[in-house]
Structure 1
Amino acid sequence: MSVAVTGHTGPMVRDLSLAARERPLRRALALAAVAVLGAWLGLLVVGSITGLGGIRTPVGPVDTRMALEPSLNGGTRIDVPPLGALDLASHTAPLRLDVAVDRLDPVRSRALVERPERISGLQEEIAEDVTTGARDLAVRSGVAVLTGATALGLVVFRTPRRALACGGLALALLATCGISAYATWNPKSVLEPKFSGLLSSAPSVVGNARSIVTEFDVYQKELARLVTNVTRLYDATSTLPTYQPDPGTMRVLHVSDIHLNPAAWHIISSLVEQYDIDVIIDSGDTMDHGSAAENAFLDAIPDLGAPYVWVRGNHDSRTTQSYLSRLKNTHVLDDGRAVTVGGLRIAGIGDPQFTPDRSVLAPGDDAERRAGSRLAAALRAQQRAGTPVDIAVAHNPVAARQTDGAVPLALAGHVHRREFSVLPGGTSLKIEGSTGGGGLRAVQNETPEKVHASVLYLDRTNRRLQAWDEITLGGLGLTTAEVSRHLPGP
């Protein structure tokens, strides 16, 4: 008996043949997708957790951390926390080079200042440091990519052979990206960086930074140019007025309206060390509610590195004042009391209002004027006694203005913005912004309030204000910094 197959066998055979051809294509696409995803995860997860994807390496006078990050646009990003960042269109590849400047090493920086002859060889040193770092980064990134792709392949395909194939494909992709970056490298990008924020810092970071920049002949090689652009972020002397404080200049750090923000203590401590501060003057509102439960917040003051002079603000209670007066290296001013700290005679008065106590009707500006008048009377009494006051401090500018003609310089806060004016009687009034960035309540604002502090330079002979530096940091979640120098004028 014979069986005849007729009719529709041709289409069935073609369908089976097409399916057989599609299966290897699908497997290859799945393999490639797992390799790419695994490599991506390897750089992101393995690198960030174990450090295999990034390295820490010294580059000239700075300590850096280098890492590769997946990116659609490529390029190089240099982070200089807390000052900000700059982006360079250095190459085109699906990988971005991230360089984070952890710190400017004071030992290596001072060595450059003290031994200028080393600058001539710094270009080669920087190039060698970056080359070594890039080599180590390539090896560790390869390990991270291989680990991530192999591990994901083992999870997805459950066979060692395909998992190893994913790892090998990921390594090949990384090598291809490296070749693409090398082929599209743009050395001119280091001369046209895109800055995020106003990146600068005080010249005291590295001494006379201007002389370093002008003599820094490192623009002949692209790697040296890259690092030099980072180092120049710290240089502010080209934009500051010509006044340069000498070693005998008295330095006062004026802060205000911290409003229970613990980050302020770290900022103040850093500024005290960087500027070699003689006295810290806080014009009040250190607290938010003035409750006894908040008092522990003040325990950081004795360790700030300089004497702390304080007046009560409208958010500071008598309980706050009593607790603070018992802390070491702290001077509480009230009712026109004067103290001599760091060679300066300072007097102040506490704010007559206590806003958090809703049961007490706020007395308003009239009470502030009366408090300021009491402070002015105390200042004139000190002058008649032969112990004139150099600086008067009140929280509210309304009170501070009443001291016009009785003291050379008056400091205030309260309004969360900076102002400087010379009053009709000749007294200079300096109002500081919020050193706490408005405090923890700043999270309620659409735009974060900036952090403000000022370094005042006073002549040691006549105690007069010569200049001041205004330090402005980005508010909550922002990494920008600005240092601007101001002169009081004739």
Structure 2
Amino acid sequence: MGATVSTAVGPAQIGMSLQPSWQGQTVLDVRPLGTLRFDSHHGPIRLRLSLDGIHADVAQQLLESPRWAETLPDLIEADLQAGLRELIIRAAVCAVAGGFLAGLIVFRAWRRALWTSLGSLLAVGLVTAVSAATFNPRSIAEPRYTGLLTGVPSLIGSAESIVTRFSEYRNQLAKLVTNVSQLYHAGTTLPVYSPDPNTLRVLHVSDIHLNPLAWNTIRSLKEQFKINLVVDTGDIADHGTKAENRFVEEIGKLGVPYVYVRGNHDSMGTQRAVAEQKNAVVLDGGVKTVEGLRIYGVGDPRFTPDKSVDVNSDASMLTQLGRAHAQRLTSDTTGRKPSSSKSSRGKAAPTPGATPAADKAAGKAVADLVAVHDPTIGRAFNGAVPLVLAGHVHQRSTEMMSSGTRLIIQGSTGAAGLRGLEHDEPTPIQASVLYFDRTTHRLQAWDDVTLGGLGEQWVQIQRHLEAAPGRTILPEPVPTPSPTGGATATVTPTRR
């Protein structure tokens, strides 16, 4: 009851409170813009911050100061620390006093009441210790946004600046606070962030299943996040019929390259319809360079809507297919150059770089990422590339495989089509914005975007940072005959 304070933080009046919660977290409530959630700790208590108001006079002084961008971060930090200290002290005092009063009422003896107050103090100390032990300073770089604050990732900037250029991030944070002040005070809008020229932004979508809402989502994300290219990991159609081919014409209206691999609900006719779009890049067992990224794609071997044909969906078959493509990708010694790239205008251009054999000899992966539909096929590329994108299962997840290859499985950007209504809760619309370094072509971070399904009005964005973007990819050991023809030796090349 006493764990609540109101304190001035820069130009804002911030309410702070501690609430019981098994998930921990720190929640910043900026009404009516939305909330930011940080996995700051895992103790049994949540820190909630709310923007209660803006001090117009302080905001005006800051705006008029020529050094506001330098002084505001330090001011905010000092005010937050002071407010947290007051909050913790007040919570501890109220807990001890409450324990004493509860003991006095229950036991009607002041000595026993002293023991209950001591128990309350120990409980406060235990909660504080657990929260401090599980404190995660990286959480500030991986917030979850709701409401209008979903535009914050594009306001803050590239993921690299959050970690490697923290001073710039602090300045952006200061600008964000000032802009919120102006929004409350004068009703102005937040400025659009200018993307880092060394960041390539890729939108990963999958399993659209003929849902027209997916195109609205894709167009909105393309504009908001300044997307350079889209990667679609299949099931754009539902039955693969000729009548569905008009649905893919929206691809040609996006104005950015659209890389596509066939899903098990897409027919060869669907694939040809996508290929006819001027900005489409269809991959089915080949490498193409798009916006500087070397992408290898594998179409799904199955076509499940045709019930008259027996479809082999055995996991071992899919794994074997994936391994065959992975071996083809990493062991091509024919000297053949990869397929030519296709620009956003549909013109072919020579693929920069060496042949697959030369890339392998230089210790580099032949492709920067692989796009497949089924994650079972994708896992077979373990050790072949740094990143594999997949879909199919309508549930978003990611895993770091043993070699250092990351597999990102996208949910359904089309909310699973009509299948999304088969459950008690509608399937959400999901997509991800991937941030690549234009020089190294390595993934730096990604934003998972989730929108409520049919009949729901909510949106959430979760930012993730790649812990080791430049990690070495270690392919699975390759057995080779020994010089004596007896036992085998193991050769394990490395890739950067």
Q: Answer whether contact 2:452 2:459 (CA < 8 A) is retained.
A: yes
What SS class does the counterpart of residue 416 from structure 1 fall into? coil
Distance 2:181 2:428 in 1: 35
Q: Answer whether contact 2:252 2:280 (CA < 8 A) is retained.
A: yes
Residue 323 of structure 2 aligns with which residue? 373
User: Does the C-alpha gap of structure 1 residues 117 and 217 become closer, same or farther in structure 2, counting only changes over 3 Å?
Assistant: farther
Residue 345 of structure 2 aligns with which residue? none
Matched, 1:450 2:428: yes
What SS class does the counterpart of residue 403 from structure 1 fall into? coil
User: Does the C-alpha gap of structure 1 residues 216 and 391 become closer, same or farther in structure 2, counting only changes over 3 Å?
Assistant: closer
Task: Identify which of 376, 396, 411 aligns with 2:389.
Answer: 411
Deviation at 1:327, TM superposition (A): 1.3
What SS class does the counterpart of residue 307 from structure 2 fall into? coil
Deviation at 1:418, TM superposition (A): 1.2
Cα shift readout 1:138-177 (whole Å, capped 9, x = no counterpart) = xxxxxxxxxxxxxxxxxxxxxxxxxxxxxxxxxxxxxxxx
Distance 1:118 1:339 in 2: 52
Q: Answer whether contact 2:195 2:226 (CA < 8 A) is retained.
A: no
Deviation at 1:313, TM superposition (A): 0.4
User: Does the C-alpha gap of structure 1 residues 218 and 409 become closer, same or farther in structure 2, counting only changes over 3 Å?
Assistant: closer
Task: Identify which of 404, 408, 411 aligns with 1:426.
Answer: 404
Matched, 1:269 2:247: no
Please say which of residues 287-296 and 364-373 is displaced more in the overlay: 364-373
Residue 149 of structure 1 aligns with which residue? none
Distance 1:272 1:213 in 2: 22
Distance 1:245 1:474 in 2: 27
What SS class does the counterpart of residue 475 from structure 1 fall into? coil
Matched, 1:362 2:311: yes
What SS class does the counterpart of residue 202 from structure 1 fall into? helix
Cα shift readout 1:287-346 (whole Å, capped 9, x = no counterpart) = 110111100000000111210000000100111011111111101110x21111111110
Task: Identify which of 433, 448, 457 aligns with 1:479.
Answer: 457
Residue 302 of structure 1 aligns with which residue? 252
Q: Answer whether contact 1:408 1:426 (CA < 8 A) is retained.
A: yes
Distance 1:378 1:355 in 2: 26
User: Does the C-alpha gap of structure 1 residues 429 and 245 become closer, same or farther in structure 2, counting only changes over 3 Å?
Assistant: farther
Distance 2:152 2:197 in 1: 14
TM-score when normalising by structure 1: 0.54
Cα shift readout 1:184-234 (whole Å, capped 9, x = no counterpart) = xxxxxxxxxxxx965531336556763334235849xxx947969xx79x9
Distance 1:317 1:327 in 2: 16
Runs of 4+ in 1 over 4 A off after TM superposition: 116-119, 196-199, 204-209, 216-219, 225-228
Distance 1:273 1:383 in 2: 35
Q: How does 1:173-192 map to 2 (within 5 A)?
A: none
What SS class does the counterpart of residue 282 from structure 2 fall into? strand
Q: Answer whether contact 1:473 1:479 (CA < 8 A) is retained.
A: yes
Residue 346 of structure 1 aligns with which residue? 295
Cα shift readout 1:114-141 (whole Å, capped 9, x = no counterpart) = xx7699xxxxxxxxxxxxxxxxxxxxxx
How many residues get paired?
Answer: 292
Distance 1:383 1:285 in 2: 29
What SS class does the counterpart of residue 200 from structure 1 fall into? helix
Residue 383 of structure 1 aligns with which residue? 356
Residue 292 of structure 1 aligns with which residue? 242
Distance 2:455 2:278 in 1: 33
Q: Answer whether contact 1:288 1:315 (CA < 8 A) is retained.
A: yes
Q: Answer whether contact 2:374 2:391 (CA < 8 A) is retained.
A: yes
Distance 1:296 1:198 in 2: 33
Percent identical across equivalent pairs?
A: 45
Matched, 1:280 2:243: no
Matched, 1:212 2:190: no
Q: Answer whether contact 2:146 2:461 (CA < 8 A) is retained.
A: no
Structure 1: gaps of 5 or more residues = 1-77, 85-115, 120-195, 238-243
Distance 1:331 1:383 in 2: 20
Residue 380 of structure 2 aligns with which residue? 402
User: Does the C-alpha gap of structure 1 residues 218 and 345 become closer, same or farther in structure 2, counting only changes over 3 Å?
Assistant: closer
What is the RMSD of the two structures over their aligned residues, measured on CA atoms?
3.4
Q: Answer whether contact 1:272 1:305 (CA < 8 A) is retained.
A: no
Deviation at 1:448, TM superposition (A): 1.0
Distance 1:217 1:203 in 2: 11
Q: Answer whether contact 2:198 2:439 (CA < 8 A) is retained.
A: no
What SS class does the counterpart of residue 457 from structure 1 fall into? strand
Task: Identify which of 302, 325, 338 aligns with 2:275.
Answer: 325
What SS class does the counterpart of residue 319 from structure 1 fall into? helix
The one-letter code of the counterpart of 1:210 is L
Q: Answer whether contact 1:351 1:368 (CA < 8 A) is retained.
A: no
What SS class does the counterpart of residue 414 from structure 1 fall into? coil
What SS class does the counterpart of residue 217 from structure 2 fall into? helix
User: Does the C-alpha gap of structure 1 residues 415 and 217 become closer, same or farther in structure 2, counting only changes over 3 Å?
Assistant: closer
Higher fraction of helix? 1
The one-letter code of the counterpart of 1:275 is F
Distance 2:267 2:64 in 1: 58
Distance 2:386 2:434 in 1: 13
Matched, 1:250 2:223: no
Please say which of residues 380-389 and 280-289 is displaced more in the overlay: 380-389
Residue 438 of structure 1 aligns with which residue? 416
What SS class does the counterpart of residue 150 from structure 2 fall into? coil
Residue 123 of structure 1 aligns with which residue? none
